[in-house]
Amino acid sequence: QAQLTESGGGSVQTGGSLRLSCAASDGDKYIMGWFRQAPGKEREFVGAIYISSRHTYYADSVKGRFTVSRDNAKNTVYLQMNSLKPEDTALYYCAARGSRIITSAIGLWDQYTYHGQGTQVTVSA
C-alpha cells in the first residue's frame, strides 16, 4: 500500500513559483497524478505522469505553466508551478495508481488507488 506525503506548499505572490513534492513509498511502481481543490469548488485534475516519465498530461488551465516530473530513485514526484495566479490557490493532492489506465481516465480522482493529505498553495494578487 502506497503512502503519499505532499510538501512544498506555501504562499506566493502572483507570478511567483513553487515546487511541490510527493514522496511515495514504492513510488516507482505507480502512475502519479496531481489534483487540487479550491474552497467551494470541485476537485480538479492538474497533471499526471507515467512511470517511465515518457508521458505527461496536463489540465488546460495549467498547461505551459506547470510541469510534472519524477525521480524514481527517490520515489518522489514533483509539480513545478510557475507564473502562479490567484486562481491557482487550492489544496493540492498527489495520487497514485498501480495499474494501467486509459488516457481518458487519467484525470479522474477515483481512478487512483492512493491519495495524499494535501498541501496548501495560496497565491495573492
Mean pLDDT of 84-108: 93
Cα atoms found within 13 Å of the Cα of residue 98, Cβ hemisphere only: 10
How far, in Å, CA of 41 to CA of 23, rounded?
A: 26
pLDDT at 102: 86
pLDDT at 5: 95
- 54 has pLDDT over 90: no
pLDDT digits (tens, 9 = 90+) for 19-29: 999 999 887 78
pLDDT at 115: 96
